[in-house]
Chains A and B, each alone.
Chain A
Amino acid sequence: MGSRLGGIFWSLIFLAVPVLGVATFAIAPSYNIWLPKNVSEHGSSIDGLFYFILALTGVVFIATEGLLFWFIWKYDAAKAKGPATYIHGSHTLEVVWTIIPAATLLFLAIYQMNTWADVKMRRPAMAPTVEVVARQFEWRLRYPGRDGMLGTRDDLFLTNDLHLPVDEDVLIQLKSMDVLHSFFLPNFRIKQDAVPGMKIPVWFKAKETGQFDIVCAELCGWGHYKMKGRVTIESRADFDRWLEETYARQEATQPAPEDTVAAAAD
Chain B
Amino acid sequence: MSTATASTLSHGTATSLPPARKPRPVAEFLSTYVFSKDHKVIGLQFLFSTLLWFLIGGLLALAVRWQIAWPWSDVPVLGKLFAQQGGQMAPEFYTMLFTMHATVMIFLVIIPILAGAFGNFLIPLMIGADDMAFPTLNMLSYWFMWPAFLLFGASFFVEGGAASGGWTSYPPLSTNVNSAPGSGWGQTLWLLGLTMVGVSSMLGSVNYMTTIILMRAPGMTMFRLPMTIWAMFITAVLQAFALPVLTAAGFMQLTDRMIGTGFFTPEGNVVNNSLASTGGGQPLLWQHLFWFYSHPAVYIMILPAMGMVSDILTTFARKPLFGYRPMVYSIAGIAGLGFIVWGHHMFMSGMNPALGITFMVSTMMIALPSAVKTFNWLGTVWGGRIQFTTSMLFALSFVSMFIIGGLSGIFMAATPVDIFIHDTYFIVAHFHYVLFAGTAMGVWAAIYFWFPKMFGRTMNEFWGKVHFFLTFIFLNGTFFTMHILGAVGFPRRLADAYHYETFHHLQPLNAFLTWCAIGMVASQIIFAANFFWSMFFGPIAGRNPWNSNTLEWSAPSPPGHGNFDFQPVVYRGPYEYSVPGVEKDHLMQTDPPNAVAAAAVAAAH
Interface on A for B, CB 8 Å cutoff? 1-2, 6-7, 10, 13-14, 17, 20-21, 24-25, 28, 32-36, 45-46, 49-50, 53-54, 56-57, 60-61, 64-65, 67-68, 71-72, 75-77, 80, 83-90, 93-94, 97-98, 101-102, 105-106, 108-109, 112-113, 115-117, 119-121, 135-136, 177-180, 182, 184, 186-187, 189-193, 195-198, 200, 212-213, 215, 217-226, 228
Contact = CB atoms under 8 A, between A and B. Distances in A.
Interface string B465-476: 100010010001
A196 B580 CA distance: 68
A25 B361 CA distance: 27
B578 A84 contact: yes
Q: By CB atoms of chain B within 10 A, which of A49, A76, A119, A186 has the most?
A: A186
Given A102-B368, A228-B499, A49 B417 contact: yes
Nearest to B375: A97
Interface residues of B, number: 121
B386 interface: yes
Q: By CB atoms of chain A within 10 A, which of B269, B388, B404, B506 has the most?
A: B388
Contacts of A13: 469, 472
Contact of B381 (A75, A108, A190, A215): A75
A89 B324 contact: yes
B309 to A, nearest CB: 13
Interface in B362-416: 364-365, 367-368, 371-372, 374-376, 378-379, 381-388, 393, 396-397, 399-400, 403-404, 407-408, 410-411, 413-416
Given A24-B484, A75-B381, A10 B403 contact: no
B319 A84 contact: yes
Given A197-B283, A224-B494, A184 B326 contact: no
Given A14-B396, A72-B381, A105-B368, A222 B91 contact: yes
5 contacts: A21-B404, A34-B487, A84-B384, A89-B323, A219-B170
A64 B91 CA distance: 42
A221 B95 contact: yes
Contacts of B386: 7, 71-72, 75-77
Given A84-B577, A180-B172, A191-B348, A50 B417 contact: yes
A190 B419 contact: yes
A239 B423 CA distance: 31
Contact of A196 (B269, B353, B388): B269
B493 interface: yes
Interface in B470-495: 472, 476, 480-481, 483-485, 487-489, 491, 493-495
B497 interface: yes
Interface in B148-170: 164-166, 170
A191 B396 contact: no
Q: By CB atoms of chain A within 10 A, which of B166, B270, B367, B379 has the most?
A: B379
A97 B600 contact: no
Nearest to B383: A85
Contacts of B484: 24-25, 28, 33-34
Nearest to B271: A178
Contact of A85 (B319, B399, B465, B605): B319
Contact of A109 (B360, B499, B505): B360
B26 interface: no
Contacts of B375: 93, 97
B367 to A, nearest CB: 6
B140 interface: no
Given A46-B420, A89-B324, A219 B364 contact: no
Contacts of B282: 197
A109 B407 contact: no
Given A36-B502, A71-B382, A120 B356 contact: yes
8 smallest beta-carbon distances between A and B, as pairs:
A197-B266, A85-B383, A222-B92, A89-B323, A120-B353, A186-B489, A77-B385, A84-B578
B530 to A, nearest CB: 15
Given A180-B170, A217-B422, A53 B410 contact: yes
B63 to A, nearest CB: 16
B378 A116 contact: no
Contacts of A35: 420, 487-489
Interface stretch (B43-51, B176-184, B536-544): B176-184
A17 B180 CA distance: 42
A196 B266 contact: yes
B415 A116 contact: yes
A85 B321 CA distance: 11
A184 B488 CA distance: 13
A61 B604 contact: no
A30 to B, nearest CB: 12
Contact of B420 (A20, A25, A50, A83): A50
Given A85-B578, A89-B376, 11 more contacts: A21-B480, A49-B414, A75-B385, A89-B322, A94-B323, A109-B364, A186-B420, A213-B500, A217-B491, A219-B170, A219-B493
B537 to A, nearest CB: 21
A190 to B, nearest CB: 7
Contacts of B585: 83-84
A83 B600 CA distance: 14
B13 interface: no
Contact of B326 (A32, A36, A89, A177): A89
Given A98-B368, A187-B502, A195-B284, A116 B179 contact: no
A193 B320 contact: no
B267 interface: yes
A83 B400 contact: no
Nearest to B423: A217
A226 B495 CA distance: 9
Contact of A10 (B95, B379, B393): B393
B526 interface: no
A116 B372 contact: no
A64 B403 contact: yes
Contacts of A177: 269-270
Interface string B532-558: 000000000000000000000000000
Given A7-B386, A33-B506, A49-B417, A68 B500 contact: no
Nearest to B92: A222
A88 B605 contact: yes
A36 B410 CA distance: 21
Contacts of B323: 88-90, 93-94
Contact of A112 (B349, B354, B360): B360
Given A71-B381, A87-B383, A186-B420, A32 B505 contact: yes
Contacts of B396: 14, 68, 72
A89 B379 contact: yes
A51 to B, nearest CB: 10
Nearest to A220: B173
Contact of A87 (B165, B179, B320, B488): B320
B106 interface: no
A9 to B, nearest CB: 9
B125 interface: no
